[in-house]
Amino acid sequence: MKKIRRRFVLVDDERMGNRGGVGSPSDVSVEECSFVAPYLALCREDWDQRDYSLRAVFNGLRYIVRTGGQWRFMPNDLPPWPVVYQQTQRWIRAGCFETAVEDLRMLLREFSGRKAQPTAMILDSRTLQSTPESGARAGYDGAKRRKGSKVHAAVDSLGHLLALPVTPADEQDRAQVGELARQVQQIAEENVELAYVDQGCTGEAAEQAAAEHGIQLEVVKHTEANRGFVLLPRRCIVERSFAWAARFCRLARD
């Protein structure tokens, strides 16, 4: 029987951050690294205690988020999983990702010919199935018939993220309108005046909670006697944002 010899090709396309590493589709490019590096640099790159480059550690995090793999199954061509995990916790506590997302959103809006801060937003929620690790904080969503956590999202008219509080799945959407409005106004410097919502955010309590922060609710209703899929104005924008997030397997479950 003829033996089949497997060969692995080592590439150096300036993506891994470590010369001679095996490139992965989730690795950051040169342009991406140059943008995100100032937000992630909590210490000097040439610090004596740094054994792995900032780029290589960020590539490890991107691999976990993109593929949904477990930390202890980190590939050998990436830094050890404890290094990536501990550095990720430092980034989260320092608010690095929130700052990067906020600046990127303003840049993309200006590139699109819009003002840096939005005046309108779209609200919606999504229920994520719980896992054994997150079961203690999960709730049961009777409408979706799913136990897990509910992600309440607020995006601008381009679909860029403004706020994202997470609650147990049994929490009502209308109960989170006030918290979403507060977070969005803090981020958008009190510029948001209008919020497009679905019928789950109707009611006097939701309207009053939004009005306390200077926001008016506008309900986007389904057309009467509709059948099949109907593309709703404004609502499709936040659904598209959920679809973008669904490409990252780590965000598919809680």
Determine the pLDDT at residue 11.
37
3-state secondary structure of 230: coil
Gap between the Cα atoms of 234 and 195, Å rounded:
10
Please write the tens of the pLDDT for every residue from 153-201.
999 999 999 999 999 988 899 999 999 999 999 999 999 999 999 888 8
- DSSP string for residues in 128-178: EE--TTTGGG-EEETTTTEEEEEEEEEE-TT--EEE--EEETTS-GGGGHH
Closest CA relative to residue 196, chosen from 162, 238, 243, 244: 238
- Locate 111 and state its tokens: 């590139």
Please write the tens of the pLDDT for every residue from 56-86.
999 999 999 999 989 999 998 899 999 999 9
Determine the pLDDT at residue 45.
65
CA angle 114-119-122, nearest 5°? 105
What domains can you pick out in the chain, each with its CATH number?
A: 1-94 (no CATH), 116-251 (3.30.420.10)
Q: What percent of the chain has pLDDT over 70?
A: 85
Please compute the mean of the pLDDT values over residues 232-238 and round it to a whole number. Answer: 82
Determine the pLDDT at residue 227.
61
pLDDT at 18 over 70: no
Pair 191, 119: CB distance under 8 Å = yes
- Locate 108 and state its tokens: 């993309």
The model's pTM is 0.81
pLDDT at 231 over 90: no
Gap between the Cα atoms of 63 and 146, Å rounded:
28
70 or 230, greater pLDDT: 70
Helix/strand number for the chain, H first, E second: 7, 7
Gap between the Cα atoms of 70 and 79, Å rounded:
14
Q: Are strands 120-129 and 194-197 parallel, antiparallel or unpaired?
A: parallel
Closest CA relative to residue 233, chosen from 221, 245, 246: 221
